[in-house]
């Protein structure tokens, strides 16, 4: 079975721009969660999607949004980028409790 | 608020020695705990998990201990190898929020360095 894939792997944007990141979960997994990882804050939960519905949300501003498609693939969007949004964005898919992570998208905001 | 923290940010051990990584959690409602390993440039990888109705669980070269009285979790790695060098995270999940979705609350991480 293929693992969780994320595209792109690296991205450079400037302040004020918006960005869309993509995640393809493991086949058969219906839950997709997104996390932000920074050296200062560690791994922080953004949101979880299940069957195209946002089921849980972390404490991030409304600039961070996501969606899930009928094939369970998910995207997250960050609008009006700030320097502090520079981070590794990780996607994880799950069938039960165990979450399988993708390699992440490294976003740099200049 | 909810938090999971690690006692030691870095741990350096000699190859062949045993490693112990500690973690404290604050949410007494958490029913499930996971240890992840993250190597440079990769996403976290599942190592071992434990439910709150257990106090010990063993895997291949790894053992997780759970002390609910003091809300403490530890990961023991036997005969540590250079390939074990990575950042280790503990994470908790409250199964009581299952119907509202689930989220992992991660600790800050401990960097394990294995000296040959």
pLDDT digits (tens, 9 = 90+) for A63-78: 999 999 999 999 999 9
Q: How confident is the model at residue B99 (pLDDT cuts 50, 70, 90)?
A: low
Residue B25 has pLDDT above 80, yes or no: yes
pLDDT score of B51? 92
Q: How confident is the model at residue A14 (pLDDT cuts 50, 70, 90)?
A: very high
Distance, CA of A4 to CA of A14 (rounded, Å)? 27
Chain B contact probe: residue of A39, A42, A60, A93 with most B CBs at under 10 A: A42
Considering only CB atoms, A43 lies closest to which of B42, B102, B106, namely B106
Q: How confident is the model at residue A56 (pLDDT cuts 50, 70, 90)?
A: confident
Distance of CA A69 to the CA centre of its chain: 14
Q: Determine how many CB atoms are found less than 10 A away from the CB of residue B9.
A: 10
Of residues B1 and B105, the one with the higher pLDDT is: B105
Q: Hey, are the CB atoms on A90 and B43 less than 8 Å from each other?
A: yes
Residue B9 has pLDDT above 80, yes or no: yes
- For chain B, give the longest Cα–Cα distance: 47
Residue B92 has pLDDT above 80, yes or no: yes
Residue B100 has pLDDT above 80, yes or no: no
- For chain A, give the longest Cα–Cα distance: 38
Residue A57 has pLDDT above 70, yes or no: yes
Half-sphere exposure of B109 (CA within 13 A, CB side): 20
pLDDT score of B5? 46
Please report residues of B whose CB lies closer than 8 A to that of A31.
Answer: 102
Of residues A26 and B100, the one with the higher pLDDT is: A26
Q: What are the two backbone dihedrals, phi and then psi, of residue B88, each rounded to the nearest 5 degrees?
A: -110, 130
Please report residues of A whose CB lies closer than 8 A to that of B36.
Answer: 101
Q: Determine how many CB atoms are found less than 10 A away from the CB of residue B48.
A: 17
* Per-residue pLDDT tens digits for B29-63: 888 999 999 998 899 999 999 999 999 999 999 99
pLDDT score of A2? 80
Task: Record the tokens describing residue B63, joined without a space.
Answer: 């053992």
Distance, CA of B82 to CA of B85 (rounded, Å)? 6
Q: Are B68 and B91 in contact (CB under 8 A)?
A: no
pLDDT score of B4? 52
Of residues A96 and B43, the one with the higher pLDDT is: B43
Q: How confident is the model at residue B22 (pLDDT cuts 50, 70, 90)?
A: very high
Please, what is the average pLDDT of chain B? 87
Q: Hey, are the CB atoms on A33 and B49 less than 8 Å from each other?
A: no
Considering only CB atoms, B106 lies closest to which of A42, A94, A103, namely A42
Please report residues of B whose CB lies closer than 8 A to that of A94.
Answer: 102
Q: Hey, are the CB atoms on A100 and B46 less than 8 Å from each other?
A: yes
Residue B98 has pLDDT above 60, yes or no: no
Distance, CA of B98 to CA of A86 (rounded, Å)? 31
Say what percent of chain B tops pLDDT 90.
66
> If we measure between CA atoms, which residue out of B76, B55, B57, B51 comes closest to residue B66?
B55
- C-alpha Rg value of chain A to the nearest Å: 13
Burial group, residue A102, by CB count within 10 angstroms (0-12, 13-18, 19+): buried
How would you label B95-115 residue by residue, b for 16+ Cβ within 10 Å and e otherwise?
A: eeeeeebbbbbbbbbbbbebe
Distances in Å between the alpha carbon of A84 and those of A17, A87, A107? 13, 8, 10
């Amino acid at each position: 079975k293929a693992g969780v894939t994320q595209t792109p792997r690296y991205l450079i944007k400037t302040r004020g721009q918006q960005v869309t990141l993509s995640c393809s979960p493991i086949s058969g997994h219906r839950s997709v969660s997104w996390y932000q990882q920074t050296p200062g804050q560690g791994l922080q939960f953004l949101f979880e999607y299940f069957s195209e519905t946002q089921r849980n949300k972390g404490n991030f501003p409304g600039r961070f949004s996501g969606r899930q498609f009928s094939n369970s693939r998910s995207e997250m969007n960050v609008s009006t980028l700030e320097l502090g949004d520079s981070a590794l964005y990780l996607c994880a898919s799950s069938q039960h409790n165990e979450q399988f992570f993708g390699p992440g998208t490294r976003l740099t905001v200049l | 608020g909810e938090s999971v923290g690690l006692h030691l940010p870095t741990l350096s051990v000699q190859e062949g020695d045993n490693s112990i990584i500690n973690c404290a959690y604050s949410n007494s409602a958490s029913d499930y705990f996971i240890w992840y390993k993250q190597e440079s440039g990769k996403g976290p990888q599942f190592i071992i998990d434990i439910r709150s109705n257990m106090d010990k669980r063993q895997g291949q070269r790894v053992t997780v201990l759970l002390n609910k009285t003091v809300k403490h979790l530890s990961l023991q790695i036997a005969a540590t190898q250079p390939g074990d060098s990575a950042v280790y995270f503990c994470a908790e999940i409250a199964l009581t929020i299952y119907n509202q979705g689930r989220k992992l609350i991660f600790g800050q991480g401990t960097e394990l360095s294995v000296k040959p």
